[in-house]
Amino acid sequence: MVAASSGKEQIEGPSAEDVRAQLERILSSDKFHLPERARSFLKFVVNETLEGRAEYLKAFTIAHDVFGRRDTFDAQNDPVVRIEAGRIRRELERYYLLSGSSERVVITIPKGGYVPAFEFNREFKGVEQAGTETQSQIEHGLESQPAIPELPKTRFRIGFPSQAVLAAAVVGVLVTSTLLIRAGGTDYSVASVAATASARPAIAVERFRDVVASDRSSSLSMGLTEEIIGNLVKFKEIVVIEGTASAGRNPTASGYILQGSVRLENEKVRSIARLVRRSDGMIIWANNYDSDLRAQSAFEIQSALAKDIATAVAQPFGVIFQADTKDIASQSVGGWDAYTCTLAYYSYRTEMTQPAHEMAKDCLVKVTNRAPPDATMQAFLSLLYLDEVRFSYKLGVKPVPATLEKSFKLAEHAVELDPRNARALQALMLANVFRDDIQSALRAGAAAYAINANDTEVAGEYGLRLAMSGKWETGCGLISNAVTKGAGPKGYFEVGMALCAFIDGDLGAAELWSRMSDLNYNPMHHMVLTAILGAAGRIDEAQAELKWIKEHAPKLMPNIAREISVRISRQEDRERIFAGLRAAGAEIDSSPRATN
C-alpha cells in the first residue's frame, strides 16, 4: 500500500520514521549516485511531504527553495526542476534494481508531479531469509547477485511506433557480480583474451580533439576519451587500444580508429565522433552530440556521451558488425578465427536460415575446440544450440532435450571461464528460460545487465525475460530502449513491444508493432499477430495469419500451448494469448497436461 503523499494523513504503509530511515540509507549508499543539488531536491520533497506540505511541491517552490532561483522563475523557460526530477526517478529505479529485496521501504517520485510516494517492498526479506536466498543463488552458480525487485511502476510508451521515443525503465548500471568459478582456479579469461586478441577487431581510441583550446574544454575532451574507453572495454567481441600509434603494432586484420572533437562555447558543448576503417580510411559512422553545461555537469555529459558512442559503435549488430558481416555468408569454411566466427554468428542471426546456422555452428565448434578456451565463443555456440530449440520451426530442426542440455553446459562453462562476460551470462539466462528455471534465468540476466547495460542485445533480451516473467513494466521499458537504439536483428525486439502493448490492452499499438517486426524472421511472430487480430475481432485477417502458419510451420500450432507456456510465465498472460488464437479459430488445449 502507498502511504498518503498528502503528508500527515496516514494510510497503511511506512511511517514517517520508516521513510526518513530509508532516505538516509539511500543517500549514504555507494550505489546511489547523484550530485549534491539532486540530493537536496530529494530530501526537500520527502521532508515536505512528511510534514504535510505536499500540495506546495510545485516547480516554482522547488526552484526557489532548493536551487535558489529568483521570484521571476519561469518553469517553461528554465527546465531545471523537470530535468532533476527525471534524474532522481532514474537513479531511484537503479538503486532499487541493485538493492533488491534488502530494501524494506520503496521511495519513488511518480511522473506527472514532484510529490514522492512511499510503500513497503513486497519482496523484502529479513536477514534470515536473505541468507537462504544467497545460498540458493550459490547453488545455481551465482554468488551475492541481487534479486530482481518489483520496481516502482514506470510507464513505457507503447503507442504508435512512428511517434515513439521510448524511454528505458531502468538506466545503465555497473555493479560487481561475482560467479562461482569451478575451473580449478585457473584464470582462463586472461589467457583467452591474450590468445584471441589478434583475431578480434581492434578499435584505437584517439584523444578527442579540443577545438577551442581552454582548460575546461581540454578537461572535457580528456574525460570523454577516458569514459569512452571504459565503456568500450565491456564489449568482449572487440579489443580496445588507447591511441593510434599502439594500434599500428596490433596484428589484427580488421581495425578501426575512433576519432572525435569537443567544442565549448558559452556553456554549450558540441561533440563529434566518427569511426574510421583503418584498411581504406573510409568513415563508416559519424554523429554529432549537443549538450548544455547549465543543465548537466561536465561529468554527466561525459558519461552520457561515452555510453551513446560506445553503444553505437560496439553493440551487437552495431556499426562494426554491420560493416563486416555483408559478405561473410558467402565465405567457405576454413581458416576460421574468433572474429570470423563472430561475424558468421551475427550474419546468421540477421538472416535466420538453416544454412547460415550450420555454417556459424561449424565455425564455432572448430574455434571452441582450440585451447585456450574463449568464453565469448562458447557463449555464441550455446546460443546457436539453443536456437535449435527456440527457433526450431524456422530452422526446420527437431528440438531434443540433449540439444538444450548442451546449450546449458556451454553457457555454464562460458561463465566459468569469464564471470564478467555479459554474452556468456546472456546465454546462461536464455538456456535457463527454456529449462524452465526462470529465477536462475533472471539472476543471470541481472548480472549481465549490471556488467554492461550499454550492450543493447543483453538489455533487450533481459527485458524480454523480465516482461514475460510477469514484470511487464520494467521489462517493456528495457525492450523499448533496445528498440530505440536499434538493437538486435531488424524487427527482433519489435515483437516484444507488440506483446507489451497486447498485455497492456492497446490492440492498435500491438498490431502496429507486430507488423513492424520481421514477420518472416520467426513463425512465432505470425502467431503473435494472429492473437492480436483475433482479440481485436478481425477474424478474417486472423484466420489468414493462421493459414500462413499452417502452411509454413505446420508443427507450430499443434504445440503452441507448450511453446507459449515455456516463454510466458503467468497463466493470465498466457490465457490472453490463447483467447486471441481461439478467436481466430485455433484449437488449443491449454491444460497442464498439454503445456508441461
Same domain, 132 and 255: no
Q: Which of 143-157, 252-266, 274-288, 358-372 has the lowest mean pLDDT?
A: 143-157
Q: In this model, does residue 133 exceed pLDDT 90?
A: no
Cβ-proximal residues to 291 (8 Å cutoff; 6+ apart), any chain = 268, 269, 271, 301, 304, 305
**pLDDT for position 24:** 92
Residue type, 444: A
**75 domain-assigned:** yes
Closest C-alpha to 448, from 367, 376, 524: 376
pLDDT > 70: what percent of the chain?
A: 79
Environment class of 323 (CB within 10 Å of its CB; exposed 0-12, middle 13-18, buried 19+): middle
Q: Compute the distance between CA of residue 444 and CA of residue 147 in angstroms, rounded to an integer.
A: 10
Single out the residue in 263, 297, 324 at which a domain terminates: 324
pLDDT value of position 535: 96
Residue type, 19: V
Phi, psi of 3, deg, nearest 5? -65, 150
Domain boundary among 324, 356, 372: 324
| Contact yes or no for 31/95 (Cβ under 8 A) | yes
In the predicted structure, residue 180 carries a pLDDT above the cut 50: no
The Cα–Cα gap between 117 and 215 comes to 43
Q: What is the mean pLDDT of residues 566-572?
A: 93
Integer Cα distance of 220 and 291 in angstroms? 12
Residue 37 CA: distances (Å) to CA of 64, 296, 422 = 13, 11, 34
**Domain check: are 209 and 103 in the same one?**
no
| C-alpha cell, 404 | 538444450
What CATH number corresponds to the domain at position 207? 3.40.50.10070
Average pLDDT over residues 412-439: 94
Give domain status of residue 509, yes or no.
no
Same domain, 215 and 103: no
Concatenated DSSP letters of 267-294: TEEEEEEEEEETTT--EEEEEEEEEETT
Determine, yes or no, domain membership for 478.
no
Residue of 573, 332, 363, 364 lying closest to 475 (CA atoms): 573
Q: Is pLDDT of 328 > 50?
A: no
Sheet containing 117-120: which strands, arranged edge to edge?
2-3, 117-120, 105-108
What phi and psi, each to the nearest 5 degrees, are found at residue 380?
-60, -40
Q: Which of the pair, 148 or 574, is modelled with greater confidence?
A: 574
pLDDT of 140 over the 70 cut: no
| pLDDT at residue 323 in the model | 59
Number of domains the chain is built from: 2
| Same domain? 136 vs 237 | no
* Cβ-contact 237, 222 below 8 angstroms: no
Task: Band the pLDDT of 159: cuts 50, 70, 90.
Answer: low
- The pLDDT of 251-279, averaged and rounded, is 84
Do 166 and 493 meet the contact criterion of CB atoms below 8 Å apart? Answer: no
Q: How far apart are CA 553 and CA 520, in angstroms?
A: 11
Q: Is the pLDDT of residue 497 over 90?
A: yes
How many other CB atoms are there within 10 angstroms of residue 519's CB atom?
A: 18
Peptide bond into 372 cis (omega under 30): yes
Q: Find the helix packing angle between 298-314 and 215-232, rounded to 10°.
A: 40
pLDDT at 34: 80
Same domain (yes/no): 146, 202: no
Residue 16's SS3 state is helix
Same domain, 320 and 197: yes
Residue 362 belongs to some domain of the structure: no
Residue 130 shares a structural domain with residue 237: no
Neighbours of 541 (CB within 10 A): 17
Instruction: Give the model's pLDDT for residue 188.
Output: 29
Pairwise CA distance, residues 563 & 399, whole Å: 12
The residue range of the domain holding 40 is 2-154
The predicted model gives 507-511 an average pLDDT of 92
Query: Among candidates 199, 164, 192, which has minimal Cα distance to 373?
Result: 192
Predicted pLDDT of residue 11: 45
Q: Are 447 and 425 in contact, with CB atoms under 8 Å apart?
A: yes
61 plus 122 within the same structural domain = yes
- The grid coordinates listed for 10 are 496516514
Position 333 in a domain? no
User: How far apart, in whole angstroms, are the C-alpha atoms of residue 558 and residue 580?
Assistant: 16
Ranking 314-323, 357-366, 573-582 by mean pLDDT, the lowest is 314-323
State mean pLDDT over 22-37.
85
Residues 73 and 197 in one domain: no
Domain boundary among 324, 355, 382: 324
Model confidence at 275, pLDDT cuts 50, 70, 90, reads very high
pLDDT digit string, tens, across residues 288-309: 999 988 888 888 888 889 988 9
pLDDT band at 325 (very low <50, low <70, confident <90, very high): low
Mean pLDDT of the chain: 79
User: Do 19 and 150 have their domain in common?
Assistant: yes
Is 425 a member of any domain? no
Q: In sequence order, what are the residues at sequence separation of 6 or more whose Cβ sits closer than 8 angstroms to the Cβ of residue 232?
A: 203, 205, 238, 240, 310, 313, 314
Q: What is the mean pLDDT of residues 360-371?
A: 86
What's residue 82's pLDDT? Answer: 84
| Any domain includes 591 | no
The DSSP H or E segment spanning 503 is helix 494-504
Rounded Cα–Cα distance for residues 500 and 466 (Å): 11
Residues 6+ apart with CB under 8 A from 432: 408, 438, 440, 441, 444
Q: Which of 98-102, 288-292, 445-449, 471-475 has the lowest mean pLDDT?
A: 98-102
When pLDDT is averaged across residues 456-469 and rounded to a whole number, the result is 93
User: Nearest to residue 119, comparing CAs of 146, 145, 92, 94?
Assistant: 92
The C-alpha atoms of residue 105 and residue 552 are separated, in whole angstroms, by 51
- Does 139 share its domain with 219? no
| Chain length of the chain | 596
Residue 224: predicted pLDDT: 92
DSSP assignment of 55-75, as one string? GG--HHHHHHHTS---TT--T
Residues 100 and 146 in one domain: yes
Residue 235 in any domain: the answer is yes
